[in-house]
Amino acid sequence: MATSVTGPQFEPVHERALTPAVGPAHDVDGFVRQFMRELNYSQGVPLSRSTLNDQYLALARTVRHYLMQGWIRTGKRRRDAGDKVIGYLSAEYLLGRQLDNALLAADLHDIAREAMRACGLDFDVLRAQEIEPGLGNGGLGRLAACFVDSLATMDVSCIGYGIRYEYGIFKQTFAAGKQVEVPDSWLALGSPWEFPQPDRAVQIDFGGHTESYTDDDGRERTRWVPSWNVQAIPYHLLVPGYRNNVVNTLRLWSARATNAFDLQLFNQGDYAEAVRAQTFAENITKVLYPEDSTPQGRELRLQQQYFFVAASLKDFIRHTLPQDFDLHHLPERVTFQLNDTHPVIGIPELMRLLIDEYDFEWDEAWDVTRQCFDYTCHTLLPEALEVWPVELLGRLLPRHLEIIYQLNEDFLEQVRERFDGDEVRARRMSMVQENPVRAIRMAHLATVAANKVNGVAALHSQLLRDKVLPDFSEMWPDKFTNVTNGVTPRRFVRIANPGMSELVTEAIGEGWLTDLERLAELEPFAEDSSFRERFRAVKAGNKDRLRQLLHHRDDIELDQDHMLDVMVKRLHEYKRQSLKLLHVVSLYEQIVSGEIDADSLVPRTVVFGAKAAPGYVMAKETIALINAVARTIDADERVKGRLAIAFPANYNVTLAETLIPAADLSEQISLAGKEASGTGNMKFALNGALTIGTDDGANVEIRELVGDENFFLFGMTEPDVAALQAKGYVPGDVYASSPRLKRTIDFLAGGHATGGRTSTAAAVIDDLLSHDRFMALADFDAYVEAQGRVEAKYADTEAWTRSAILNVARSGFFSSDRSMRDYLDRIWNVSARS
Ligand code: NBG
């Protein structure tokens, strides 16, 4: 007789692989044991013979252990519930160091510190071992990292898809003041935060041609016959939420040759040829394009884009959806957020998958596809909107080009119908540009397909509607929306500024870190003189921390008690580092000429941090010029102790975390209408720096929130800029009519701020006087005037501190948690669990 087994129901073993009984205990003892296991069994060394790197890797893997249970649980819970997934498609994630964030999320910081002490190790030295994964250029990549942090903290189902670049953003060094780029080998000493999954590889095709055929049901079909392919290997990284046991996933793709090498060629001794295919394939994810705001029309870049998007879509359908899922219901299970135009090739790819591989009719496929994508635009510079030459796209992805043509035909028919056959308009709106070369406008494709299109700050979204895509917003006004960027307060307040975090918690209690608007409760403390004193003490401590860091890291000696005036961001003409430099030169000139007494100046150190794209000549000239002026001022006894420039090389997330909390003044001085949002501006305000800024990007919202009296506004507005442009801008006229500007430029041109060498400033000055595309000269006088207001206020310590506290109290809006809530409400139609 058959017996049925009754008794306790066990969870399937694979789901309970980690129970508290086998996971490390949440105490010092448990941590130490796990650490020693990692050191001995994973690193394969005893403590006595371990290197710092061994110890760091063991520490990181120990912390990772504590997150795994949450990761497994989160995945299971989401699969069981059939949650709609946010598929965040981004070519960049500028993650920053992982250890501190993981320790904070899992509430392990104190335990880990104590455990390392018990092992006789210096916790801070180990933390400093980590090389940050610099898989992004600047704001766009950092924003993606902030967003995935917030979604995990809010318990929203999100998979971040991207590229595992073997070399991230280059490491910047200076040689004789000039930028030199060094490869960033972040993987060289091991990468403890990722899990490779070679068995989940996806094949990605390229090249070849298409052909028509009739299928078994007698339907006319098209088939893509590619000519080469590569393997995409996923690596997953953990994205822990803040103390909620939620761990989301980042899935980054690495390229590998389909056939590692040709054994026959190898055996014949032709080693180079034998591995050629491998080298070629692996080049796809070799390096991050070191560009920001200007696309490089490079084939490899398009390969990268298609590679990661195609891998992500296939992977989602195969591994995240249940087997046999009916793809007609895809929009119920996923929404793909296109982070700028880089992943837009995903639109024709989804069409192709549905039609060619899943037998959808064209209209059915379009109906599904257009519900699956939303598009965020991150720029206003026309040259930064990607276009792909038809010749290139057709050669690399012939089937996709056909699909785009068909989509465009259907779309233009709609345009003509709607606007009485307006051909001029149709040409403007077409996805295909005819001149100077026939090319696909990826922003148009994205806008047509997307459910929603958003800009990244109120002004930017308005300009996007009115100036960049006006025809589209006229056709589909409801498609356009705004979500103002935000930053994660976990990394940029709690980790970066522990002193201020403690002070805030003492004042208003816990809870603000996941509900940042609660910072508003700080407002009354601005009037409390003892609180102001403690606030200043925190700032002084942060400056001291920066002083020590720059001393060791860069051999830079920061003067004690200086106002720290900080401009950190990518080097770009529209951001106008040259305007900041002109201001410094102007102060210097005034002292040297005896117009002002050095002792009457508010002592100030101007800190620059900026990488220039390697091919961006003017940006590199500007870097060399800043360094030359820095050296000259530093060597001049007349300004010693009163004025200095510090330009640490290799500005990155790690440096930002020490630099921003130390700043007094935040420089956000782009030409109005050019900076889409900025996010550094938010980080500074949240850390109690006052902003000097133009009416641009998110500065507008910062000023509205913190109040005019706590913000130094200057310069032309966007309409002023447009009017001046229309009238014809002549920088030479500005130079001639502003005595202060003229003196400054003449002084600089005469080599007086560059150690006597006139050539150092020549390129920058020539450009400013002849083109000045971003109107730095036109805003110079206003900027200098605003800096006067800065000095006056800084001299009144209490007033300054009051404003600094109010900046913190009124900047809660700039949490990326709020941004994510806006995306959930306005774009994704998904609700957060918390
Ligand atoms: C950048 C903008 C910034 C903005 C970030 C994040 C690109 C293409 N754009 O102003 O220049 O803050 O995106 O939205 O990198």
pLDDT for 715-726, tens place per residue? Answer: 999 999 999 999
Q: What is the helix (H) or strand (E) element at residue 330, kind and residue range?
A: helix 330-333
Q: Which residues, in sequence order, are bridge partners of residue 287?
A: 167
Residue 606 Cα to ligand 1 middle (Å):
24
- In tens, the pLDDT along 36-93 reads 999 999 999 999 999 999 999 999 999 999 999 999 999 999 999 998 999 999 999 9
Q: How would residue 8 be classed by pLDDT, with cut points 50, 70 and 90?
A: very low
- In tens, the pLDDT along 210-226 reads 999 999 999 999 999 99
- In tens, the pLDDT along 790-827 reads 999 999 999 999 999 999 999 999 999 999 999 999 99
Residue among 379, 574, 682 whose CB has most ligand 1 atoms within 8 A, to mutate: 379
In short, whether 456's Cβ falls inside 6 Å of ligand 1 is: yes
Mark whether 679 is an active-site residue: yes
Mark whether 76 is an active-site residue: no
pLDDT above 70: residue 121: yes
- In tens, the pLDDT along 457-468 reads 999 999 999 999
In short, whether 378's Cβ falls inside 6 Å of ligand 1 is: yes
Q: How would residue 383 be classed by pLDDT, with cut points 50, 70 and 90?
A: confident
In short, whether 694's Cβ falls inside 6 Å of ligand 1 is: no
Return mean pLDDT, the chain: 95
Which one-letter amino acid corresponds to residue 125? V
Residue with CA at minimum distance from ligand 1 atom 3: 678
What CA–CA distance (Å, rounded) separates 792 from 794? 6
Mark whether 569 is an active-site residue: yes
Whole-number percent of the chain with pLDDT over 70: 96
Residue 566 Cα to ligand 1 middle (Å):
19
pLDDT of residue 297: 63
Residue among 94, 344, 376, 378 whose CB has most ligand 1 atoms within 8 A, to mutate: 378
Residue 511 Cα to ligand 1 middle (Å):
30
Residue 292 Cα to ligand 1 middle (Å):
8
pLDDT of residue 294: 65
Phi, psi of 88 (to 5 degrees): -85, 110
In short, whether 385's Cβ falls inside 6 Å of ligand 1 is: no
pLDDT above 50: residue 3: no
Residue 335 Cα to ligand 1 middle (Å):
22
- In tens, the pLDDT along 570-596 reads 999 999 999 999 999 999 999 999 999
Q: What is the helix (H) or strand (E) element at residue 782, kind and residue range?
A: helix 780-795
Mark whether 378 is an active-site residue: yes
- In tens, the pLDDT along 514-572 reads 999 999 999 999 999 999 999 999 999 999 999 999 999 999 999 989 999 999 999 99
pLDDT of residue 6: 45
pLDDT of residue 269: 84
| Residue 676 Cα: closest atom of ligand 1 | 10
Crossing angle (nearest 10°) for helices 797-809 and 780-795: 110
pLDDT of residue 346: 98
In short, whether 292's Cβ falls inside 6 Å of ligand 1 is: yes
| Residue 384 Cα: closest atom of ligand 1 | 8
Residue 139 Cα to ligand 1 middle (Å):
5
Comparing C-alpha atoms, which of 405, 335, 415 is closest to residue 368?
Answer: 335
Catalytic residue among 164, 539, 575, 818: 575
* DSSP letter string, 478-539: GGEEE----B-HIIIIIIT-HHHHHHHHHHH-S-GGGSGGGGGGGGGGGG-HHHHHHHHHHH
- In tens, the pLDDT along 164-178 reads 999 999 999 999 999
Residue with CA at minimum distance from ligand 1 atom 8: 293
- In tens, the pLDDT along 232-291 reads 999 999 999 999 999 999 999 999 998 876 777 778 888 787 777 778 888 999 999 877
What CA–CA distance (Å, rounded) separates 576 from 776? 7
Catalytic residue among 491, 534, 570, 818: 570
Taking residues 488-498, what's their average pLDDT? 98
Residue with tokens 């990181």: 60
Do you know the residue count of the chain? 834
Crossing angle (nearest 10°) for helices 617-635 and 759-770: 130
pLDDT of residue 4: 43
Catalytic residue among 62, 679, 694, 801: 679
pTM over the 0.85 mark: yes
Whole-number percent of the chain with pLDDT over 90: 91
pLDDT above 70: residue 295: no
Comparing C-alpha atoms, which of 631, 680, 676 is closest to residue 655?
Answer: 680
Mark whether 575 is an active-site residue: yes
What CA–CA distance (Å, rounded) separates 648 from 642? 19
In short, whether 376's Cβ falls inside 6 Å of ligand 1 is: no
In short, whether 483's Cβ falls inside 6 Å of ligand 1 is: no
Taking residues 650-664, what's their average pLDDT? 98
In short, whether 443's Cβ falls inside 6 Å of ligand 1 is: no
pLDDT of residue 526: 98
What CA–CA distance (Å, rounded) separates 645 from 412? 55
Residue 756 Cα to ligand 1 middle (Å):
38
Mark whether 683 is an active-site residue: yes
Residue 134 Cα to ligand 1 middle (Å):
16
